[in-house]
Structure 1
Amino acid sequence: MTSLPITSPGSWVFSGDVPAVFVDHARHSVPLYDAGHDLVCDLSTCFLGGDQPRVGYELGSATGQLLRRLAGHGPANAATHWIGVDREAAMVEAAREHCAGLGNVEVVAGDLTEIAFQPCDFVVAYLTMHFLPPGQRRQVLRRICQALRPGGAFFMFDKVLAPGAQLEDLITTLHYRFKRNAGLSPEEILDKKESLLGVLRPVSTDDNLTVFEEAGFTSYGTILKYLAFEGFIAIK
């Protein structure tokens, strides 16, 4: 496994050389990384299809691994126009290269807090929203809900905080063991934690559910969870 270029506390970025090693690192760091991709692809088929042209988004599309899978996951997905959004130029370039040849995929450079969403049917944010400050997260979720057509859905996979210090400490310990067993060294684990200080901004499950309600979603809940990582579905 190739290590990420980490230098100092609060220094985490997705630019530079990160795209070349991003997927491999994520698989060694995030439980259920690929299983979550499987789930969201199957989930997407429940909200696409019919005679009306469909639009789907992946917010924070990184190197385009999930975007490419979504775009080809069955006839309804292949007939949907997929828009991948990322603010890092290196990620946009990597995603465009990975999705080359797919006529139903568009990858754009943009900031989630500023882009204008088209009317859409399915939106995915996979390990993306927890990098936004809570206030911006509320605004983005409100705009996503407004852009979704009635019956459309938003899937979010994020790191979350446990309800209480003791449980948070236990889950963190188990997560570090997961990383160590996956091949990361103690130094790499600590360096990554320090690099994310002030950059990663997770909130609790209850806080996420409250924001979904405030944004205008009518039905929402957890459909995937392992340690500190949780997948939510919110339906308009």
Structure 2
Amino acid sequence: MTQKDSIYATEQAVKDFSFDQHVVEVFPDMIQRSVPGYATIVSTIGKLAGEYAQSNSNLYDLGCSLGAVTLSMRRNIRTDNCNIIAVDNSEAMVERCKLHLQGFRSDVPVTVTLGDINDLAIENASVVAMNFTLQFIPPEKRQAVLEKIYANLKPGGVLLLSEKIRGENEQCDNLLIDLHHDFKRHNGYSELEISQKRTAIENVMRPDHLSTHLNRLSEIGFSQTQVWYQCFNFCSMIAIK
């Protein structure tokens, strides 16, 4: 049974956010109440993975957390000889992800790995998913990660990228933030929880502008890039090699 997210419900000395055991226990509730359209994003990533998966190739879920995207991909893959490689740098997330995957039978093999995406070797990939992952990588390392993904994607392969974004100017950014905070209030978070979570995450998650994402993907070499979902400051894109 999913536990309710009450991590920031009491006043505390706020530490930088991390995907530790406390977060693992409440993560499904946290993500559903914090990210508008999360279920739609996850299910659509699975459908896109099923459409673009190529036979005899690997599909990657980078920053897999509890494995929601991995499971969505497994449900939609009908292509022969595909393997899914799910990677996260949180040991607590990886261990829980393995338990979740045991409950779902599938002919598509999955390897769940504890590791740093910056050091990961990507090979023979037709689909790479990064669902709200790039934003936690230091900004100075993002270009290299995306270049590595592009270099190891098969022709016609895709990057499925979801990110929290910044507004293109201060006024627009404040508007998106206000809309998101209203969303969280509607889902039962208090002003204290919203404030303390924002403090906890501001040093570890540094969003880019949408224009930064699109320009960077184009400069790296992706032939087509399309935003297929946006609600407030949450955005999902597909980039085709």
Q: TM-score range by the shorter chain?
A: over 0.9
The change in CA–CA distance for 1:67 and 1:8 in structure 2 (over 3 A counts) is farther
**1:171 alignment counterpart:** 176
Identify the match of residue 198 of structure 1 among 166, 188, 203: 203
Unaligned runs of 5+ in 2: none
**1:158 alignment counterpart:** 163
**1:68 alignment counterpart:** 71
Please identify, of 167-176 and 40-49, the stretch whose mean Cα deviation from structure 2 is larger. Answer: 40-49
Q: Partners in 2 of 1:235 and 1:121 — Cα distance?
A: 10
**1:109 alignment counterpart:** 114
CA deviation vs aligned residue, 1:14-71 (integer Å, no higher than 9, x gap):
012211111110000000110101211111122124xx31210000000112211211
- Runs of 4 or more, structure 1, over 4 Å off, are 6-10
Q: Partners in 1 of 2:171 and 2:15 — Cα distance?
A: 25
| Percent of matched pairs sharing the same residue | 28
**1:228 alignment counterpart:** 233
- For the aligned residue pairs, the C-alpha RMSD in angstroms reads 1.6
Identify the match of residue 36 of structure 1 among 35, 41, 59: 41
**1:130 alignment counterpart:** 135
Instruction: Report the TM-score when normalising by structure 1.
Output: 0.93
Q: Partners in 1 of 2:5 and 2:64 — Cα distance?
A: 21
Letter aligned with residue 198 of structure 2: K
Q: Partners in 2 of 1:144 and 1:127 — Cα distance?
A: 16
**1:25 alignment counterpart:** 30
CA deviation vs aligned residue, 1:153-189 (integer Å, no higher than 9, x gap):
0011100011111111111111101001011111111
Identify the match of residue 97 of structure 1 among 91, 94, 99: 99
Letter aligned with residue 221 of structure 1: Q
Instruction: Report the TM-score when normalising by structure 2.
Output: 0.91
Letter aligned with residue 80 of structure 1: C
Q: How many pairs were matched up?
A: 233
**1:2 alignment counterpart:** 4
